[in-house]
Amino acid sequence: MTYAIAVAITLALLTSLLLAALHLGFRAPRIRERRTPADLGLAYESVPIPTVSGKRLFAWLLPVAGADSSIIILHGWGGNAELMLPLALPFHAAGINVLLLDARNHGNSDADTFSSLPRFAEDMEHAIDWLRREHPGRTQRLALLGHSVGAGAVLLAASRRNDIDAAISLSAFAHPQWMMQRYLRRFHLPGPIMAFILNYVQWIIGHRFSDIAPISTVCRIACPILLVHGRADSTVPVEDARAIVQGCPEAHLTLLEIDQAEHDSVDQIEQHGHELVRFLQRQGFATLPPR
């Protein structure tokens, strides 16, 4: 009996350590903004946006005089609005209002217990509701853009709504389970431990991976979708983007692959900003002539 109790205590301790390591390892790093759009010569407003649990989101609104269309841009894991600012430039220059958003636990937004793809999507949906409520004249047409986890959140949010006119996904993984398995393989964990971790994460976030996976959510989106992916992405291989396209042939999907672009190559994606703008123009977004 003493031996059995010792084994049980040891297993409990090991499990506690494993769960603590999981929470620590998957905690999003917080990087606060240091520059503002004014450093690039852009007029902007810092706006607070309410989200769930009484939390507040930090965002920058980059208005364009007379523009009736907008795009909301959401960063990836550990990112912030400043890191996505280069991608806002081609849209703003083309005459589209831009809202750059910090998810909870990121940038200057409020803290919460944990971050996840569904929580990113919750924050995006509250930003959509805020922009439509506070600036109805600027949301005659509305697009969403997200990077990495933010891209998955954009697709999840768009799959729940019928008021989105276009979605742009940058470097999205096809399935959260695939992404986590790629990450966990480096630790050479036994199969049962790997399965335990995957099930535990699904329990914590309150969603099955299969329900929130981009390879699934794109099939529930009515608006056109542009997938953008770097061929040199070693974090989320370009094969994930191709799998999303092949997994739902009936969706309105366009894939743009960028040579030499890695997972966080926002600067190289910016060089293709004219293609992103042209995608929105094809969806009826009115843009201004180049200034």
Q: Measured between alpha carbons, how far is 4 from 181 in angstroms, rounded to an integer?
A: 33
Q: Measured between alpha carbons, how far is 140 from 191 in angstroms, rounded to an integer?
A: 50
Q: Measured between alpha carbons, how far is 165 from 290 in angstroms, rounded to an integer?
A: 23
Side-chain-side CA neighbours of 82 within 13 Å: the count stands at 14
User: Order of strands across the sheet with 69-74?
Assistant: 45-50, 56-62, 97-101, 69-74, 141-147, 166-170, 225-230, 253-258
Q: Which two tokens stand for residue 49?
A: 């946006």
Beta bridge mates, 145: 73, 168
Domain residues of the chain, as ranges? 46-282
Residue with tokens 């996904």: 169
Which of 3.40.50.1820, 2.40.160.60, 3.40.1190.20, 2.30.180.10 is the CATH number of 46-282? 3.40.50.1820
What per-residue confidence (pLDDT) applies to 26?
Answer: 60
Q: Measured between alpha carbons, how far is 69 from 218 in angstroms, rounded to an integer?
A: 23
Residue pLDDT, tens place only, 85-136: 999 999 999 999 999 999 999 999 999 999 999 999 999 999 999 999 999 9
Q: Which two tokens stand for residue 31?
A: 């990087």
Residue pLDDT, tens place only, 193-221: 888 889 988 999 999 999 999 999 999 99
